[in-house]
Amino acid sequence: MTVALPRTRRKAQARRLSMLLGGVLTLAMAPLAASADSGSPAPTGSASAAADTFTIGTTTDVDSLNPFTGIDANAYEIYQLEYPTLTEYAAKDFTTVPGLATSWTESPDHTTWTYKLRDGVKWSDGQPLTSADVVYSFERVLNGQYEQTNYSAYTNDIASVSAPDATTVVFTVKRPSPIMLHLYVYILPKHIWKDISETQVKSYTNEPTPGSPTVGAGAYTVVERQTGQFVRLVANPNYYGGMPRVKNLVFRIYNNPDALGQALKKGEVDYADSLDTNVYNSLANVPGVTRVAATYSGFDEFAFNTGAALKDGTAIGNGNPALKNASFRRAVSWGVDRKTLLERVFNGYGSVGDSIIPPIYQSLHWTPTADELIGYDPVKAGQLLDAAGYKLGTNNLRTTPAGTPLSLRLLGRSDSASSTKAIQYLQGYLTQIGISSTVKLVASDALTEIIGQGNYDIFEWGWVIEPDPNYQLSTFTCGKRSYKDAGQVYADLSDSFYCNPAYDQLFAEQSGITDPVARAVIVKQMQALLYQDSPYIVYANYDDNFAYRSDRWTGFIPQPEQNGVYLFQYGTWSYSSLRPVSAAAVANSGMNLGLVGGGAVLAVLVVGGIVVLGRRRKTATSQDRE
Amino acid sequence: MAIQSQGFGQSTHAEKRSWFRRNRDLSKFVLAKLGGGVLTLLFVVIFNFFLFRMMPGDPVGLYNRGRNQDPVQLAKLRAALNRPIWDQFVTYMRNPFAETIDSTRFSRPVWGLIGDRLWPTVLLVGTAIVLASIIGVWIGIRAGWTPGGRFDRISTGFTLILYSMPEFWLGLVLLIVFAVGAFGIPGLFPTGGMISPGLSGGSLRGVLDTGWHLALPCLTLTLVYLAEYSLIMRASVVDELGQDYLTTARAKGLLDSDVRRRHAVPNALLPTMTLIFMNLGFVVGGAITVETVYSWPGLGLLSYDAIKGPDIPLLQAAFLLFSFAVIIANVTADLLYAYLDPRVRP
Q: How far apart are CA B230 and CA B145, in angstroms?
A: 12
Answer for the pair B239, B267: CB distance below 8 angstroms, yes or no.
Answer: no
Position B20 scores a pLDDT of 65
Condensed to tens digits (0 to 9), the pLDDT of residues A333-384 reads: 999 999 999 999 999 999 999 999 999 999 999 999 999 999 999 999 999 9
Report A:23-52 residues touching B (Cβ under 8 A).
25, 28-29, 32-33, 35-38, 40, 45-47
Position A301 scores a pLDDT of 95
Answer for the pair A13, A415: CB distance below 8 angstroms, yes or no.
Answer: yes
Q: How far A117 CA lies from chain B's nearest CA (Å)?
A: 28
Residues of A in contact with B58 (CB under 8 A): 449, 490
- Smallest Cβ–Cβ distance between B190 and the set A3, A46, A145 belongs to A46
A584 pLDDT more than 80: no
What's the per-residue H, E or C state across B314-327? HHHHHHHHHHHHHH
Position B76 scores a pLDDT of 64
Answer for the pair B55, B310: CB distance below 8 angstroms, yes or no.
Answer: yes
Least confident window among A15-24, A107-116, A423-432, B54-63: A15-24
- DSSP per-residue string spanning B142-155: HHHHSTTSHHHHHH
Determine the topology of domain A87-198 in CATH. Answer: Dipeptide-binding Protein; domain 1 (3.90.76)
Residue/partner pairs of A451-454 with CB below 8 Å, 24 or more apart: A451/A491, A451/A495, A452/A482, A452/A489, A452/A490, A452/A491, A452/A492, A453/A308, A453/A316, A453/A317, A453/A482, A453/A489, A453/A491, A454/A305, A454/A308, A454/A309, A454/A316, A454/A317, A454/A318, A454/A319, A454/A482, A454/A497
Q: How large is the C-alpha radius of gyration of chain B?
A: 26
CA-based nearest residue to A397, from A388, A410, A389, A406: A406
Condensed to tens digits (0 to 9), the pLDDT of residues A410-427 reads: 999 988 889 999 999 999
Kindly indicate the confidence band of residue A589, based on its pLDDT and cuts at 50, 70 and 90: very low
Interface test with A, best of B55, B60, B63, B68 (most A CBs within 10 A): B68
Q: What is the mean pLDDT of chain A?
A: 85
Position A51 scores a pLDDT of 65
A347 by DSSP, 3-state: which? coil
Residues of A in contact with B302 (CB under 8 A): 228
Query: Is CATH 3.40.50.880 what the domain over A2-29+45-81+206-288+546-603 is classified as, yes or no?
Result: no
CA-based nearest residue to A63, from B288, B308, B97: B308
Beta-carbon pairs below 8 A across chains A and B:
226
A134 pLDDT more than 90: yes
Condensed to tens digits (0 to 9), the pLDDT of residues A193-206 reads: 999 998 888 888 89
CA-based nearest residue to A488, from A606, A316, A274, A609: A316
Least confident window among A30-44, A261-275, A307-321, B7-21: A30-44
Q: How far apart are CA A304 and CA A478, in angstroms?
A: 15
Instruction: Provide the CATH number for the domain formed by A299-542 in this structure.
Output: 3.10.105.10
- Smallest Cβ–Cβ distance between B295 and the set A149, A152, A254 belongs to A254
pLDDT averaged per 10 residues, chain B (length 346): 43 61 75 87 83 66 55 63 72 72 75 85 88 89 84 88 86 85 79 81 80 89 88 86 80 79 79 81 78 86 75 82 85 80 68
With CB atoms and an 8 Å threshold, state whether B291 touches A597.
no
A626 pLDDT more than 80: no
Classify strands A248-253 and A53-58 as parallel, antiparallel or unpaired.
parallel
> A501: buried, middle or exposed (CB in 10 Å: 19+, 13-18, 0-12)?
exposed
With CB atoms and an 8 Å threshold, state whether A232 touches B197.
yes
A12 pLDDT more than 50: no
Residue B203 has a CB neighbour count (10 Å cut-off) of 10
What's the per-residue H, E or C state across B166-207? CHHHHHHHHHHHHHHEECCEECCCCCCCCCCCCCCCCCHHHH
With CB atoms and an 8 Å threshold, state whether B176 touches A150.
no
How many angstroms separate the most distant Cα atoms in chain B? 87
Position A614 scores a pLDDT of 57
Q: How far apart are CA B249 and CA B258, in angstroms?
A: 9
Report A:505-544 residues touching B (Cβ under 8 A).
none
Q: How far apart are CA A567 and CA A329, in angstroms?
A: 38
Query: For chain A, what are the domain ranges?
Result: 2-29+45-81+206-288+546-603, 87-198, 299-542
Which residue did the predictor score with more confidence, B72 or A233? A233
Mean pLDDT of A395-421: 91
Residues of A in contact with B71 (CB under 8 A): 483, 485
Asked whether the ipTM of the predicted complex exceeds the cut of 0.90, the reply is no
- DSSP per-residue string spanning A480-510: GSBEEETTEEE--S-SS----HHHHHHHHHH
- Smallest Cβ–Cβ distance between A253 and the set B56, B107, B295 belongs to B295
Mean pLDDT of A533-561: 94
Q: In Å, what is the CA distance from A371 to each residue of A227, A358, A368, A378, B42?
A: 54, 20, 8, 17, 71
With CB atoms and an 8 Å threshold, state whether A593 touches B198.
no
Which residue did the predictor score with more confidence, A465 or B78? A465
Report A:405-424 residues touching B (Cβ under 8 A).
none
Condensed to tens digits (0 to 9), the pLDDT of residues A149-172 reads: 888 888 889 999 999 999 999 999
Classify strands A458-464 and A407-413 as parallel, antiparallel or unpaired.
parallel
Q: How far B344 CA lies from chain A's nearest CA (Å)?
A: 29
Half-sphere exposure of B152 (CA within 13 A, CB side): 13
- Smallest Cβ–Cβ distance between B194 and the set A229, A232, A601 belongs to A229
A17 pLDDT more than 70: no
Domains, chain B, ordered by start: 115-344 (1.10.3720.10)
CA-based nearest residue to B282, from B320, B323, B227, B332: B323
Most confident of the ranges A347-351, A586-590, A616-620: A347-351
Condensed to tens digits (0 to 9), the pLDDT of residues A279-301 reads: 999 999 999 999 999 999 999 99
Residue A201 has a CB neighbour count (10 Å cut-off) of 17
Residues of A in contact with B208 (CB under 8 A): 594-595, 597-599, 601-602
Position B74 scores a pLDDT of 63
Classify strands B181-182 and A101-106 as parallel, antiparallel or unpaired.
unpaired
With CB atoms and an 8 Å threshold, state whether A486 touches B82.
yes
